[in-house]
Amino acid sequence: MNLGLGAACLAAVCVFVPTPVQAALWAADPSLELTSAANDNYGLAFDRRNRVGLASMTGGLVASRETETQATRLNANLVGLLLRGDLHQAEWQDSLTLSHSLKGPVDAFAFDAKTARDQTLQSPSSSADLLIGRGLKRDMSGDASWEHGLTERLSATGALAILRTRYSASLLGARDYQDGSASASLRYLLDERDSVTAALAHQDYRTLDDRVRSLTDSLSVGGSRALSETSNASVSVGAYRQRTGVVQAVLACPGSTTTCGTPIVVAQVGRQARWGAQYNASYDARVSELTRFSASAARQQDPSGSGVTVLNDTLRAGVDHAYSETLASQLTYTRASSRYQGLAGGAASRLQTLTAVLSKQFSPQLSLRATADYKRSTQAFDGLHAHSTSVALTLRYEWQRLDARH
């Protein structure tokens, strides 16, 4: 299955399906962020300490067009960073995202296309899949979905997604890859509070040098419930089957086993299959009018630049508290484990993150955010540890929205 072509066809349906002429609201929201930060181990290096002071400037623009049934959104960001200390250099990142959605009486279409350039490789807290090194990473992705209401209670959803990632040559061991996925699900509303779901998914992961390919099929069932007016919970459980093929170099004898000449190197495909369980559970509750608590746990298959897929186990808990209408705080703890399956030997890397954020809104346009972050990671194969502590102060200004109706 060409998942990229399928996603493009579904996206074309979203854009070119005929719709009645409607008045549209055009809008533009520009913004600017200035950040000053200090980090005692930038990039979570294991073999050294990268103590740096960091200054960054982020320019953002969100342009949108909305009607009663359609919405188109373009989100562009450009980030410039200046590092001083053990690393004395300048870096930059950029991202561009185009999204479109279309809603009808019983159908809803949506697609997203994104390109991003990242030169810092700051690891996300949702995964412990750490590529230790500094270099350039480029992502191109697209996804499309279609939801159809079969009855008042029953709905069906289909989705396609494609991701292509490339790394610079300075990242030793990093493998360029492509990951595609297709899924279909059914959701049934039991009543106003409860619903059940069932889903099928297929994932196709391959390195761009065609040496590794993993096909994963999964089935899951789950449900969600509004426990009260202020709390809700959801859970899904399932199983997956993965088949992996890897091109390996082996020595072969050009003649018979008794008259073997000089051995030659030939390519041989090694194959492996495995089964496993996966799950996803979440809980969210408003403890009081000013405080909200949330927690989640998940196990899922994710693509990786290591040349294999990783099995990610993630545990997250967070508390949000509003001291007033303009002053709020967030405290989040995340623990992630990424297990490299198959040829990588099944070793697991681990990452723990504790983040505290305090934000102040001075006006509708101006806000200030203070962030403190601690990370501790364990490398997969040799058990080495690395940790970092960072503090940052970010000033954000959002210009008044520019809009027009046509």
The tens digit of pLDDT for each residue in 363-402 reads: 999 999 999 999 988 876 666 788 889 999 999 999 999 8
pLDDT at 136: 76
pLDDT for 16: 46
CA distances from 293 to 56, 233, 316, 317, 318 (A): 31, 12, 11, 8, 6
Chain segment 165-220, per-residue pLDDT in tens: 998 876 777 889 999 999 999 999 999 899 999 999 999 999 998 888 999 999 99
Residue 169's Cβ-count burial label (10 Å; 0-12, 13-18, 19+) is exposed
> Residue 9 has what DSSP assignment?
H
Query: Does domain 3-405 fall into CATH 2.40.160?
Result: yes
Residues of the chain under the 70 pLDDT cut: 1-22, 119-135, 170, 248-270, 342-347, 380-383
- What pLDDT is recorded for position 261? 52
What's the pLDDT score for residue 173? 73
Helix intervals (H) in 224-291: none
Using CA atoms of 117, 123, 129, 134 in order, give the dihedral in degrees to the nearest 10: 60
Q: Closest by alpha carbon to 303, among 242, 350, 345?
A: 242
Taking alpha carbons only, the member of 75, 80, 78 closest to residue 59 is 78
Nearest CA-CA partner of 70 in 22, 113, 106, 112: 22
Report the pLDDT value the prediction gives residue 309, as an integer from 0 to 100.
84
Closest CA to 274 of 236, 307, 309: 309
**Among 335, 274, 344, which Cα is nearest to 306's?**
344
Q: Alpha carbon of 36 to those of 54, 84, 284: distances in Å?
A: 6, 12, 33
Question: What integer pLDDT is reported at residue 265 of this predicted model?
Answer: 46
